Structure 1
Amino acid sequence: MLEVENLHVSYGAIKALHGVSLKVPPGSIVTLIGANGAGKSTTLRALSGLVKPTEGVIRYDGHDIARMPANRIVSRGLCHVPEGRMVFANLTVRENLKMGAYLQKDRKWIAEQTDYVFGLFPRLKERENQAAGTLSGGEQQMLAIGRAMLSKPRFLMLDEPSLGIAPLLVKTIFERIVEINREQGLTILLVEQNANLALEVSTYGYVLETGRILLEGPSAELKANPQVQEAYLGA
């Protein structure tokens, strides 16, 4: 569903990505792990059109989207849940979900999908008229994922969904990520610093180091790899 070939991204004179190549098959959960500053978030930002690559091909669903504007990319069903949640703090939970549906015209579908999100995350239903800025970090992450679900995604990119969240809510959020993948057939590309958790829920993984793919393979093999264990799993 997604093929990235020789992706290069620079911020001025600083090169962030040096020839990244990866593939994400339809219906899969693929993870991208690595240390802070490895280029994980930059990779997602390039895929969603927020930064433009200096070189390389991004083929989504058979089309090269490397230089396509971000609004056209999301209209094709590729949705990015950014690091730090980025909810609209002064809007209510329900209003944030409506913002996610800004490209959708089918009111019946929007209502049904909103109910689906409230079923996934009952805490959001309990707080639907509460300002998003008053929610906990974990609740805001639920809202960010729920808002993305209202954009009618076919491919979901999640950037650090566990960051700054209580362990109990992290468990809930990752259970829901797996549920979304299974129930709605959503393809998911997951960027996550908690490598152990990321490799647990994914089928395939890539290890990114200083803007380059260092290792790749089935998640179970990466989890058993001594190099990965020492560097990312605390072994």
Structure 2
Amino acid sequence: MLEIENLEVSYGSIKALHGISLKVPEKSIVTLIGANGAGKSTTLRAISGLVKARSGTVRYAGEDITNLPAHAIVARGLCHVPEGRMVFANLTVEENLRMGAYLRNDKAGIAEDIEYAFTVFPRLKERISQQAGTLSGGEQQMLAIARALMSKPKCLMLDEPSLGIAPMLVRAIFEQIVAINKERGLTILLVEQNANLALKISSYGYVLETGQVLLQDSAEALRQNPQVREAYLGD
């Protein structure tokens, strides 16, 4: 469904990605792991049109979407939940969800998807009229994912969903990521510092180091790889 070939991205004179290539098959969960500064977030930002690719190709559903505007990429069914959640702090939970549906005009479908978001994350229903800025970090992450679902994506990119969140809520969020993948057949590309947890729910993984793909293999094989275990799994 999503394929990146020889992607290069630079910030001024600093090269962030050195020609990386990766594939995300339809309905799969694929994870990118690596240290801070490895290029994981930059990869997602280049795919979603938030930064320009210097060279290389991004293909989604067979179409070349390299350097398309971000809203045009969302309209094609590819949605990005950024690191840090980026909820609209002064808007309520419900208003944030409706912002996620800004490209849609099917009122009945929007209402139905809001209810689905509340079944995925019941805490959000309890806080439907609460300003997003007053939610806990975990609740804001739930809202960010639910808001992305409101665009009816076919492929969802998640950047560090566990960052700064209590362990109990991390488990709940990851359980729902798996449920969304299974129930809706949603393709997921996951960037996550908690490599052990990410690899447990993924079918395939890539290890990035200084803007390059260092290793790639099935998620289980990466979990058993001594190099990965020592560097990223705390063994």
Name the SS of the counterpart of 2:38 in structure 1.
coil
1:223 aligned residue? 223
Q: Report the Cα distance in structure 2 between the residues aligned to 1:115 and 1:24, rounded to whole angstroms.
A: 29
- The code of the aligned residue for 1:218 comes to S
1:95 aligned residue? 95
Q: Report the Cα distance in structure 2 between the residues aligned to 1:146 and 1:70, rounded to whole angstroms.
A: 19
Gapped regions of structure 2 (runs ≥ 5): none
Q: Report the Cα distance in structure 2 between the residues aligned to 1:109 and 1:183, rounded to whole angstroms.
A: 17
CA offsets, 1:29-88, max 9 Å, x none? 000000000000000000000001101010111111112111100000000000000000
Q: Report the Cα distance in structure 1 between the residues aligned to 2:63 and 2:123, rounded to whole angstroms.
A: 38
Output aligned runs, 1:15-54, within 5 Å.
15-54=15-54
Q: Which runs of 4+ in 1 moved over 6 A?
A: none
Name the SS of the counterpart of 2:50 in structure 1.
coil
Q: Report the Cα distance in structure 1 between the residues aligned to 2:46 and 2:99, rounded to whole angstroms.
A: 23
2:194 aligned residue? 194
2:91 matches 1:57: no
2:75 matches 1:75: yes
Q: Report the Cα distance in structure 2 between the residues aligned to 1:159 and 1:113, rounded to whole angstroms.
A: 22
Please, what TM-score do these two structures have when normalized by structure 1?
A: 1.00
- The CA RMSD measured in Å over matched residues stands at 0.4
- The code of the aligned residue for 2:118 comes to F
Give me the identity figure in percent. Answer: 73
- Alpha-carbon contact 2:6-2:18 (below 8 Å) kept: yes
Q: Report the Cα distance in structure 2 between the residues aligned to 1:177 and 1:44, rounded to whole angstroms.
A: 17
Q: Report the Cα distance in structure 2 between the residues aligned to 1:70 and 1:171, rounded to whole angstroms.
A: 30
Q: Report the Cα distance in structure 2 between the residues aligned to 1:99 and 1:69, rounded to whole angstroms.
A: 18
Name the SS of the counterpart of 1:35 in structure 2.
coil
2:86 aligned residue? 86
Q: Report the Cα distance in structure 2 between the residues aligned to 1:104 and 1:178, rounded to whole angstroms.
A: 26
Please, what TM-score do these two structures have when normalized by structure 2?
A: 1.00
How many residue pairs were aligned? 235
- The code of the aligned residue for 1:92 comes to T
Q: Report the Cα distance in structure 2 between the residues aligned to 1:80 and 1:67, rounded to whole angstroms.
A: 15
Query: How many Å apart are 1:90 and its aligned residue?
Result: 0.3
- The code of the aligned residue for 1:137 comes to G
2:137 matches 1:110: no
- The code of the aligned residue for 2:108 comes to K
Name the SS of the counterpart of 2:205 in structure 1.
strand
Q: Report the Cα distance in structure 2 between the residues aligned to 1:179 and 1:150, rounded to whole angstroms.
A: 16
- The code of the aligned residue for 2:188 comes to I
1:165 aligned residue? 165
Q: Report the Cα distance in structure 2 between the residues aligned to 1:98 and 1:3, rounded to whole angstroms.
A: 30
Name the SS of the counterpart of 2:128 in structure 1.
coil
- Alpha-carbon contact 2:46-2:67 (below 8 Å) kept: no
1:4 aligned residue? 4
Q: Report the Cα distance in structure 2 between the residues aligned to 1:10 and 1:64, rounded to whole angstroms.
A: 20
1:213 aligned residue? 213
Query: How many Å apart are 1:158 and its aligned residue?
Result: 0.1
